Structure 1
Amino acid sequence: MIITVFSEDEFAKRSIIALSLAAYCAQNRRRVLLTDATALQYALGWDARRRAAGGKPKVTVRGSADLESDLENPASYYRNHYPETIVDTDGSNARNTNAALVATDVLVIPVHSRQACNRQALVERIEAARLFNPALRILVVEVQAISAFDAAAGTETSPARALAKEILTATPAETVIHEWIDDRSTFDRGLSVFEPSPRNERAVAEIKDLYQEIARTRTQPVEQEANSLAILHALQRRTQEKELRHVSVDALHGSITH
């Protein structure tokens, strides 16, 4: 299964969620590949600190530059060798992000309760990905500050549910991921939420619950009517973009000839 964790919001704990999911898979004795497609290479930096500290269990971490074709090719070495692949991407490199979206089984979108994302651009990007990956499943998960425990979780006003309504076929996660005081120090030491002693059992439970939701989402049938509508929207936008480009070229040609 390929899981892509995607958010352009730096406050959404995207990288920490991605590496925690990878560590959870490794703890369960599954070979896991964590792919770093971020501009600042958060996962690669975490891996370097982890190896220096002798962290176990082992998580294989690679940059995305050399893995684009491998992610898209079901017969590639990485796809066959690693039953679980987690992709951490911030959208900074459109080519890497698009390669991940085309190959992914479940797209996880963390949304911070205090941050507003560019919903329209996000919806359009995901609908475009459906042209090449019509089986894409989407799970939108809310990230909350510790002080906001249960403030809007699971309600219709939560940012995750609001965004899920705008993305056709998306599912709002029941699990809420919280920001914890020790998140940064754990990350900076090359550890996951499963390794500190004593460990934060609530943080551990959140990652376990999120993974179980991802696994369930993977097996859910895609709502065909909504999926077809999303693909239609993407095709209409592409047609409009081509028409606008032709208009621009014709206008430029006209101004030159006159």
Structure 2
Amino acid sequence: MIYVFGGIKGGVGKTTVALNFVQFLAGGLQKDVLLIDADDQETATDYTAWRDSTLDGQLGYTAVKITGDAIRSQMPNLKKKYDDIIIDTGGRDTRSQRAALTVADVYLIPFYPRSFDFWTVTKVQHLINEIKIVNPKLKAITFLNRADIRSADNRDTATALEEAEGITYFNFPLLNRKCFSNAAGKGLSVFEFEPKDEKAINELNALFEEIIKLT
């Protein structure tokens, strides 16, 4: 499966979720996973370098940097070598994101409730509609990240996403927990970080298990 993490608005914690999904697949399910960093900010690449140092080269997955149309042209060969491919794209409508979506099976778009603007959903819908002309099998999934379950913003955003046509909303929010940044700072996933935050792990598992049901 080819999973693309992206969206139109930055600052929603997209890369953090993508990196934890990589470990869910590679470490938890023992899949052979390729991580493609297609984001100009190169956060996934920096994380991987830090992880390589922390774990003495035992990454648990393969990571490469590919951008632009090369994502599309190289995918037929890469698909033969890995069980799953995770593509982390920028939080805006870029050539790299569009190239990734033309070959993707699943498009994963996290939303941050406190920065929510309905125009963002509308722009995502327009992008998906354009991509589905060339990739009709694409499944677009949204979920809340860095959420506060008690917040009215959280409820309003969830309602808007549930009503958005062409997008499936997964009601498995990831709450705003310190362990995400603490783990990433050491090149680790939340699954690996000590002391373990069982609530965060349970939230990730609930979301990710729902995602892989799409296969």
How far did 1:119 drift? 2.6
CA contact (8 A) 2:51 2:187 kept: yes
Please state if 1:122 is matched with 2:124.
Answer: yes
**Alpha-carbon separation, structure 1, partners of 2:173 and 2:122:** 23
Give the secondary-structure state (helix, strand or coil) at the position aligned to 2:141: strand
Aligned-partner SS, 1:110: strand
Any unmatched runs of 5+ in structure 2?
A: none
What's 2:49 paired with? Answer: 48
* RMSD, aligned α-carbons: 2.1
Asked if structure 2 preserves the Cα contact closer than 8 Å seen for 1:39 and 1:93, the reply is no
The equivalent residue for 1:109 is 109
Q: What is the TM-score when the length of structure 1 is the normalising length?
A: 0.74
Inter-partner Cα distance in structure 2 for 1:172 and 1:160 = 8
> Residue 208 of structure 1 aligns with which residue?
205
1:198 to 174, 181, 195: 195
What is the TM-score normalised by the length of structure 2? 0.88
Deviates more, 1:100-109 or 1:182-191: 182-191
Structure 1 residue 182 and structure 2 residue 214: aligned?
A: no
Cα deviation code 1:64-106 (max 9, x no counterpart): 23533123x3xx1x10111111111125572211111111111
Aligned length: 209
Query: Which structure would you say has the larger Rg?
Result: 1
| Contact 1:140 1:160 (8 Å CA) reproduced | no
Q: Which amino acid aligns with 2:102?
A: V
Name stretches of at least 5 consecutive residues in structure 1 with no aligned partner: 220-258
Secondary structure of the residue that 1:208 maps to in structure 2?
helix
Match of 2:38 in 1: 37
> Do 2:10 and 2:92's aligned partners in 1 also have CA atoms closer than 8 Å?
no
Matched residues in 1 for 2:111 and 2:192: separation?
A: 25
Determine whether 1:68 maps to 2:72.
yes
Deviation (angstroms), 1:54 = 1.4
Q: Which amino acid aligns with 1:206?
A: E
CA drift at 1:152? 5.6
Take 2:7 and 2:109, find their aligned partners in 1: how far apart are those partners?
Answer: 6
Structure with bigger RCO (C-alpha 8 Å, 6+ apart): 2
SS for the counterpart of 1:81 is coil
- Return 52-61 or 81-90, whichever deviates more: 52-61
**Do 1:23 and 1:57's aligned partners in 2 also have CA atoms closer than 8 Å?**
no
Take 2:129 and 2:158, find their aligned partners in 1: how far apart are those partners? 18
- In the other structure, the counterpart of 1:162 is 160
Identity %: 25
